[in-house]
Amino acid sequence: MIKIASDSQIPHIEQKLSEFFGDEYLLEYFEYDQLTSNDLRDVDALLVRSLVHVNKELCNESQIKFVGSATAGINHLDTQYLDCQNISWSHAPGCNAISVTHYVMAALGELIQEGLFNVRQSVGIIGYGNIGKMLYQLLSALNIQVYACDPFLKDNHLVNMEKILECDLITIHVPYSLEGAHPTSDLINQSHTSILKDKILINTSRGGIVSEELVAESQDLIYVADVWLDEPIPSITTVKKAFISTPHIAGYSIEGKLNGSTMIARECARAFNCLKESSLAKDDLIDWPHGLKNIVRDMHGYGFPVAVFKSELDLQGISDNFKSISPNKLADEFKSLRTNHPRRNDFNKYSYKNLIALDESINIDFFNAIQNL
């Protein structure tokens, strides 16, 4: 019997473990802020989120053979230590890519409604992984001028960083790294202050990628941020200065969370040679429930389907709540806002097939692009 310890906030993890293990496991839950090395002494597998730092201090007295993180990023995992101890590990790259894409598109919608951006301006994407590619595809389908750069990839349509920094809006989608050929720590910093004058910067990657000194000193930068240094105790000054501030919820869609659970449950079963492939069918698309006329209105008024993204993700409302939290209770309220984030579906969960019946002039390429993600 495989004994598994799981963060209690990983959604549907018991269901997913049952799909891939059958009944060959024993599951215990823990609260991420109460986990100690003593809790892991007789545990075979550890399943975490980004708020648990998995390292020698936590695992040294355990018999753990597998660590799984239901997250795209891995900077909370000491992978060098795990490899040295022959502890296999896995994470969930791309699990919430559509959810984060939804966030960025919702942010564009907010900026468009406020008159701070329009579809005739340019967008630069830093990082051409899962999220970067989706954004490029969707923005291109809306005939928005979009550029992308990624020093790790060779692709004829990618541009250099200098070209990205010329764009009106820049959105960042890279992992956090201190070392290597292209470290991303302080990738956008005070040396870019003049270049970013009157521009828009969106950061949904990691707090340390954008210098908070840059944000503090820039008088004309419009900053949208979902990630912060020193979470769950971010700088209140930076939070309040940003146009939109949210408590690290960009990847928090129903599907994004469930994808992460599915991916690590499968890899956990595989690590112990217990894998039973799931036979569950993919869910059918749901008819758009928020009124197709709103989408038609936005496409004609803005050239951008604001309602597609805002209907289930009201970033301005979330931002207002986040900015109002008490500095004396910052950590607790940050965690509470994340835990109680309203349930929302990814935008490609819905069918928009009846739009053309309402208005044949609608740009259907964009909605076809959604279904092809």
Please, which pLDDT band fits residue 351 given cuts at 50, 70 and 90?
very high
Q: pTM to 2 decimals?
A: 0.91
Closest CA to 264 of 37, 54, 57, 55: 54
The last residue of one of the domains, among 48, 73, 91, is 91
The number of domains in the chain is 2
Q: Indicate if 112 and 54 belong to the same structural domain.
A: no
Whether residue 332 lies inside any domain: the answer is yes
What is the residue range of 66's domain?
2-91
Whether residue 197 lies inside any domain: the answer is yes
Q: Indicate if 100 and 87 belong to the same structural domain.
A: no
Whether residue 184 lies inside any domain: the answer is yes
**Tokens standing for residue 254:** 């129903």
Report how far residue 43's alpha carbon sits from residue 64's, in angstroms, rounded to the nearest whole number: 6
**Tokens standing for residue 360:** 């044949």
The pLDDT value recorded for residue 82 is 97
The pLDDT value recorded for residue 353 is 87
Q: Indicate if 297 and 351 belong to the same structural domain.
A: yes
Whether residue 71 lies inside any domain: the answer is yes
The last residue of one of the domains, among 91, 111, 143, is 91
Q: Indicate if 7 and 124 belong to the same structural domain.
A: no
The last residue of one of the domains, among 43, 72, 91, is 91
| Whether pLDDT at 278 is above 80 | no
Please, which pLDDT band fits residue 279 given cuts at 50, 70 and 90?
low
Active site residues: 206, 231, 248
Q: Indicate if 158 and 306 belong to the same structural domain.
A: yes
Q: Indicate if 41 and 105 belong to the same structural domain.
A: no
Q: What is the CATH classification number for the domain harbouring 72? A: 3.40.50.720
- Annotate 175-205 with DSSP letters as a single string: ---SSSSS--TTSB-GGGTTTTTT-EEEE-S
The pLDDT value recorded for residue 117 is 98
Report how far residue 340's alpha carbon sits from residue 173's, in angstroms, rounded to the nearest whole number: 25
- Burial level of 163, CB count in 10 A (0-12/13-18/19+)? middle
Q: Indicate if 80 and 115 belong to the same structural domain.
A: no
User: How many H-runs (helices) and E-runs (strands) does the chain carry?
Assistant: 15, 13
CB atoms within 10 A of CB 2: 19
The pLDDT value recorded for residue 364 is 86
Closest CA to 341 of 108, 134, 103, 48: 103
Instruction: Give the sign of the dihedral formed by CA 77, CA 262, CA 227, CA 170.
Output: positive
Q: Indicate if 120 and 240 belong to the same structural domain.
A: yes
* Phi and psi torsions of 209, nearest 5°: -80, -30
- Burial level of 36, CB count in 10 A (0-12/13-18/19+)? exposed
Whether residue 266 lies inside any domain: the answer is no
Q: Indicate if 194 and 244 belong to the same structural domain.
A: yes
Mapped onto helix, strand or coil, the DSSP state of residue 67 is strand
Output the average pLDDT for the chain.
Answer: 94
Closest CA to 327 of 203, 252, 214, 238: 238
229-238: long-range contacts, CB 8 A cutoff, minimum separation 24: 231/207, 231/334, 232/51, 232/330, 232/331, 232/334, 232/335, 232/338, 233/330, 233/331, 233/334, 234/207, 234/330, 234/334, 236/327, 236/330, 238/212
Whether residue 67 lies inside any domain: the answer is yes
Per-residue DSSP letter, 233 = S
Q: Indicate if 102 and 66 belong to the same structural domain.
A: no
pLDDT tens per residue across span 233-272: 999 999 999 999 999 999 999 999 999 999 999 999 999 9
Q: What single-letter amino acid sits at 157?
A: H
Q: Indicate if 105 and 202 belong to the same structural domain.
A: yes
Whether residue 256 lies inside any domain: the answer is no
Task: Tell me the mean pLDDT in the region 42-51.
Answer: 95
Task: Tell me the mean pLDDT in the region 49-60.
Answer: 94
Report how far residue 273's alpha carbon sits from residue 44's, in angstroms, rounded to the nearest whole number: 13
pLDDT tens per residue across span 65-109: 999 999 988 989 999 999 999 999 999 999 999 999 999 999 999
Whether residue 264 lies inside any domain: the answer is no
| Whether pLDDT at 281 is above 80 | no
Q: Indicate if 105 and 32 belong to the same structural domain.
A: no
Please, which pLDDT band fits residue 280 given cuts at 50, 70 and 90?
low
What are 54's strand-pairing partners?
Answer: 77
